[in-house]
């Protein structure tokens, strides 16, 4: 099986959690699938939420934004390029002084955001015919030739994305892997803590986070799934999504 592979990084990133905004806007620890599909959509010129809203105002009832409708069936795999799956974070405070952002005195809105510092991931996109062939070929061509219809960013427009080390790689499907080197969605799995075995010979770690996996059809709200990133042995892999090997490292696609 072939896959498109590239490294995605940036100086900073901000993938806003929609459930907390009282004092500071927090970020997810990693790029999630919907944000990744949005980034891929910008590369080939697919419309986003704003375009969907304009269509609805014109009595056109699009169920999903164009990028999600076209790319939602892509199988992706994400490997964090950081220690134990954790990037450093920093808090940033800035003001909107246009006068239209707040009803407070002076019309100044103070915005506080948590940003990821120097995030980087290895991204794999499986070539399994899950989306329209023409769309997939355009995506591969644009990424390999470093061409983008719109500027790709990591969550917000002031967090520019860097795409490099692009290549087409060969993967082998595997059914009996003991370790998963990528993030994977929790799907009836178990982690073997008792023996302390790790794929890198280091101290065992298990990183967990609930991340958006799908958009709900009714209102485009996020549907969440718990994701795992660990160096310990995992069992019941036959219950996980598709698992392939690249350079003797097993990675899960979802």
Q: CA-CA distance, 118 to 83, in Å (whole number)?
A: 12
Residue 56 has pLDDT above 90, yes or no: no
Residues 178-196: tens digit of each pLDDT? 889 999 988 656 666 666 7
Which residue(s) pair with 249 in the sheet?
246
Q: CA-CA distance, 208 to 129, in Å (whole number)?
A: 30
Residues 107-116: tens digit of each pLDDT? 677 888 999 9
| Residue owning tokens 């590369």 | 43
For the whole model, what pTM was predicted?
A: 0.90
Instruction: Identify the pLDDT of residue 59.
Output: 56
Tell me phi and psi for residue 38, to 5 degrees.
-65, -40
Task: Give 63 or 71, the one with higher predicted confidence.
Answer: 71
Percent of residues, the chain, with pLDDT higher than 70: 85
Residue 241 has pLDDT above 70, yes or no: no
Instruction: Identify the pLDDT of residue 48.
Output: 79
Banded pLDDT at 104 (limits 50, 70, 90): low
Taking alpha carbons only, the member of 49, 162, 153, 156 closest to residue 113 is 156
Instruction: Identify the pLDDT of residue 193.
Output: 61
Banded pLDDT at 99 (limits 50, 70, 90): low
Taking alpha carbons only, the member of 251, 156, 181, 209 closest to residue 30 is 209
Q: CA-CA distance, 122 to 89, in Å (whole number)?
A: 20
Q: What is the DSSP letter of 154?
A: S
Averaged pLDDT, 137-155: 95
């Amino acid at each position: 099986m072939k896959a498109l592979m590239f490294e995605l990084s940036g100086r900073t990133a901000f993938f806003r959690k929609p459930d907390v905004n009282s004092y500071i806007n927090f970020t997810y620890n990693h790029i999630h699938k919907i944000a990744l599909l949005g980034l891929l959509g910008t590369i080939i010129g697919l419309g986003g939420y704003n375009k969907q809203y304009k269509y609805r105002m014109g009595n056109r009832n699009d169920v999903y934004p164009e990028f999600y409708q076209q790319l939602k069936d892509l199988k992706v795999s994400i490997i964090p390029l950081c220690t134990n799956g954790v990037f450093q974070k920093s808090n940033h405070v800035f003001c909107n002084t246009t006068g239209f952002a707040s009803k407070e005195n002076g019309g100044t809105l103070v915005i506080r955001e948590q940003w990821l510092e120097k995030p980087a991931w290895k991204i794999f996109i499986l070539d399994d015919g899950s989306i329209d062939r023409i769309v997939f070929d355009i995506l591969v061509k644009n990424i390999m030739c470093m061409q983008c219809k719109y500027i790709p960013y990591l969550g917000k427009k002031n967090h520019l994305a860097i795409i490099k080390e692009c290549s087409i790689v060969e993967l082998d499907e595997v059914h009996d892997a003991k370790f998963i080197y990528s993030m994977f969605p929790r799907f009836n799995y178990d982690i073997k803590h008792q023996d302390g075995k790790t794929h890198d010979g280091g101290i065992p770690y298990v990183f967990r986070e609930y991340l958006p996996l799908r958009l709900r059809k009714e209102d485009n709200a996020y549907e969440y799934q718990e994701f795992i990133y660990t160096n310990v042995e995992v069992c019941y892999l036959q219950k996980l999504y598709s698992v392939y090997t690249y350079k003797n490292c097993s990675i899960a696609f979802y």
